[in-house]
Amino acid sequence: MKALQVIYTLWLREMLRFMRSRSRMIGAISMPLMFLIILGPAFGSSLQFRGIPNYLDFLTPGIIGMTVLFASMMGGVSIIWDREFGFLKEILVAPVNRFFVALGKAIGGVTTAMIQGVLMMVIAGMMGVQYASFYGALLSIAVMFLIGLGFIGLGIALASKIESHEGFQMVISFLMLPIFFLSGALFPIEGLPTWLEYLVYVDPLTYGVDALRACLLGTSTFPLTLNLFIITGFAMITISIGAHLFDKTAIS
């Protein structure tokens, strides 16, 4: 019961922090929205990809994946803020397993990422993107949760070892852009050079974006079950690593 209280309290704290920061909410969706509004019509009118009749439809799951990726990995920065302001010390000295502390912060960060992802899905629908089914859209929210859980676990792991905002931002920026561009969010992954295919296949976001396309558009490169298996495994691994490194965080 105490563990559930800790998880709920930290989740609620992340929610309140997110809802009270309007600039954060606006900033979080501004870049994905720019990609959706500008890249969709621009690439759709100038590029023709085989088997893709509507580029905006194809692009939307990739932009949703991008939104969840950026929001979840940046969720790790809350650990650095809490460390600087002394809140983390108060939590860590409490007689509670640190795993549940990390889990509460992870679920809070994932929830904010899912809110942003759902918002992008709604905006894309208003722009004319045709989703395969209502149930597929609901399933895509579960996929967003798995994607967010995997990458916030990575964010927590990095934040547990990095002490400054500047260092964390630099490392995150170095990781996020290659993960996003190699995921097939902007282009089909079929027919790529062999060396590039290897990089695409080891990118966990590739399977998250493909799962979103399967749910929202009814089409995908890999079977949905394979996509779900990989992103679930990735989430379990990163959350375990993040919780382990968080458990080793020194109290200062």
Q: How far apart are CA 207 and CA 229, in angstroms?
A: 9
For residue 110, pLDDT over 80 is answered with yes
Helices (H), 75-217: 77-84, 87-92, 98-126, 134-161, 165-181, 194-201, 204-217
Is position 188 within any domain?
yes
For residue 1, pLDDT over 60 is answered with no
Neighbours of 19 (CB within 10 A): 12
Is position 252 within any domain?
no
Is position 13 within any domain?
yes
Is position 17 within any domain?
yes
Six-digit token string for 76: 């790790």
For the chain, state the CA radius of gyration.
18
Residues spanned by the domain of 70:
2-43+52-247
Q: How far apart are CA 217 and CA 129, in angstroms?
A: 9
Is position 187 within any domain?
yes
Select the highest-mean-pLDDT range: 7-11, 164-168, 221-225: 221-225
Is position 27 within any domain?
yes
30-71 residue pLDDT tens:
777 787 777 766 665 556 666 667 778 888 999 999 999 988
The burial class, CB within 10 Å (0-12 / 13-18 / 19+), for 183 is: buried
Q: Is the entire prediction scored with pTM above 0.85? A: yes
Is position 69 within any domain?
yes
The pLDDT score that the predictor gives to residue 144 is 95
* Structural domain count, the chain: 1
